[in-house]
Amino acid sequence: MRIVLPYLLFVLSTIWSGGELLAQEASFLRNETLRIDLVLSGNYSRQSAYIHRLQRYSGRFGSARQDCSPFDYGEYRYFLLHPVSGDTLFQRGFSTLFEEWRTTDEAREKQRAFQQTIEMPMPAEPVELRIESRRRNGTFFALLSESIDPEDPAVGHFIPEQHPYRTLHGGEQGERLDLLILAEGYRSEEQALFYQQATALSQELLQLEPFKSQQAHIRIRALAVPSRQSGPDDPRAGHWSATPMGSSFNTLGIDRYLETEETWLVYDHAAQLPHDHIIVLVNSDKYGGGGIYNHFSVVSGGHRYSGRVMIHELGHGLGGLGDEYYGADVAYNEFINLEIEPWQPNLTTLVDFDQKWKQMLEPSTPVPTPVRPMYQNTIGAFEGGGYVAKGVYRPALNCRMRTNEAKGFCAVCRHILTRKILFYAQ
C-alpha cells in the first residue's frame, strides 16, 4: 500500500489541476470571431492547405457554450489547441467544394485551387491551429499546423459593408440557431423581390419538421446585398453576370449545381450579421442549388421547388446529411468507401450499423430492409443511397434527402437536424 499511495496522490493532483486547466481554457477564447481564409489546392491524389489571411470580427458567432462539436461529420476538421497541454480548445468539422472536385475525372488531369473560410473564437493568447483531412479509410491526417498569435498586427480588423436587412423570424435577443440569408444577384430595385422570396422560403422551412417544432430555437435574417446585375452566371446558356458573390450554375459541369467558388466574398458579406449557417439566395427562376457541410448552402429563389431545394441543401450544409438518392447525374466517382462506415449520419454500409441509427429500428424490422410498400413508414436500412445502388443503405424508403416529392425528412434526418439546431441554440 505504501507503494501505491504516492501514485494515488499523483493521480488526484493531476485530476485537480485538470480542473484548473479547464477554467483557464475557458478564458482562452475571447468574445470575438477569428476568420481564417484558406487556399486548398491539389489534384485527385495530393492536396495542400495555405493560410491566405487572418481577420477578426467583433462579437462571437456560433455556439458560445459548446466549443467542441460532438458531430464528427465532414471531410475536414479544424482545432485550436492549448499551446502547453495540447488540449482542444475549439473544434469543428467541415466539407469543401474542393474535395468534391477531387473526386471528378478532371482532377485526374488537372490541378486546381479553391477558396475556403473557417471561423472560430479569437484566442486570448497564442494557440496552435490544426487543420486535418479525412483519409479514404476514415482516419485523419494533419494538413496544416501553425501557431496563431492574436496580437500579431497582421491579424486584420474586418469592417464589413453595411446593407439593409430584415429579421424574418426569431427576434433579436437570445441564443438561437442563426440562419443568415444573403441576397445574390438582386439589383437594388429587386430588393422587394429578395425579401419576398426569402420570406416564402423561410415560411416553408418553418412549416416542416424538425424546424417546425424547433421554431423557438431558430432566428432567420435576410441581408439585402445589392448586385450590379441581375441573376447568376449560367454558362450553358452563355449568360454572364456581375454579382456580389460570383454564383454560377454548372458547377463541376452539372447544370443544376448552383454554387459559388468566391467563398471569401460570401464571408465578407456574412460578417455584417451573426451566422451559424449561411444561405446564399440567388436571383433566378431556374432549378438549382448546392449545400456543403459547415460551408454554406445555395439555392435559386424563383423556381416552384426553391423552398424544397433550400430545405434539402440545409440538410447537407447544416445537418451534414448525405444524399439518399442514387442513379442521378452527379460529378462524383467512388464517393463512399464501402469498406467503412461513411461519416454521413443518415447513410450506412452496415459495416458498423450500431454506431448509426440501428437503435431506432423496431426489433421486427429486417436488416437490410426490403424495398416494399409495407415498409413505407418504417425506419430501416434500405439499399441504395449516397449515389450508388449497391452497398450503401438509407434509413427510409423516401426522405427530403432523396426526393423533393417526399413529405418531409425521415425520422433519422429529423433526429440529426434537431440535435444540430439545439447545438447552436443552447
- Binding positions for Zn ion, rule: CB under 5 A: 346, 399, 401, 410, 413
Which of 280/401 has CB closer to Zn ion?
A: 401
For the chain, first and last CA: distance in Å?
47
Contact 78, 35 (CB under 8 A): no
CA 182 → CA 227, 235, 281, distances in Å?
A: 11, 22, 6
CB of 363 to Zn ion, least distance (A): 21
CB of 348 to Zn ion, least distance (A): 12
Which of 198/399 has CB closer to Zn ion?
A: 399
Residue with cell 481577420: 55
Closest chain position to Zn ion (CB): 399
Which of 182/309 has CB closer to Zn ion?
A: 309
What are the backbone dihedrals phi and psi of residue 57, each rounded to the nearest 5 degrees, phi first? -115, 150
Q: SS3 of 265, please? A: helix
Contact 212, 197 (CB under 8 A): no
Which of 36/401 has CB closer to Zn ion?
A: 401
CB of 412 to Zn ion, least distance (A): 5
Which of 55/346 has CB closer to Zn ion?
A: 346
Which of 258/413 has CB closer to Zn ion?
A: 413
CB of 254 to Zn ion, least distance (A): 22
CB of 321 to Zn ion, least distance (A): 7
> What DSSP letter does each residue of 173-216 carry, written as one string?
SS--EEEEEEEES--GGGHHHHHHHHHHHHHHHHTSTTTTTTGG
CA–CA separation, 419 vs 330, rounded Å? 29
CA angle in degrees (0–180, nearest 5) for 282-318-335: 90
Q: List 59's β-bridge partners, or say none.
A: 32
Which of 104/344 has CB closer to Zn ion?
A: 344
State yes or no: cis peptide before 150, omega within 30 of 0: no
Nearest CA to 279 out of 301, 257, 250, 253 is that of 301
Residue 153: count other Cβ atoms within 10 Å of its Cβ.
Answer: 6
> What DSSP letter does each residue of 65-132 carry, written as one string?
S--B-S---SSEEEEEE-TTT--EEEEEEE--HHHHHHTSGGGGT--EEEEEEEEEEEESS-EEEEEE
387 φψ region: left (φ > 0), alpha (ψ -120 to 50), beta (else):
left
Which of 117/346 has CB closer to Zn ion?
A: 346
CB of 206 to Zn ion, least distance (A): 19
Which of 219/394 has CB closer to Zn ion?
A: 394
CB of 291 to Zn ion, least distance (A): 14
CB of 179 to Zn ion, least distance (A): 20
CB of 355 to Zn ion, least distance (A): 17
Contact 225, 194 (CB under 8 A): no
Which of 180/401 has CB closer to Zn ion?
A: 401
CB of 394 to Zn ion, least distance (A): 7
What are the backbone dihedrals phi and psi of residue 239, each rounded to the nearest 5 degrees, phi first? -105, 125
**Amino acid at the residue 154:** A
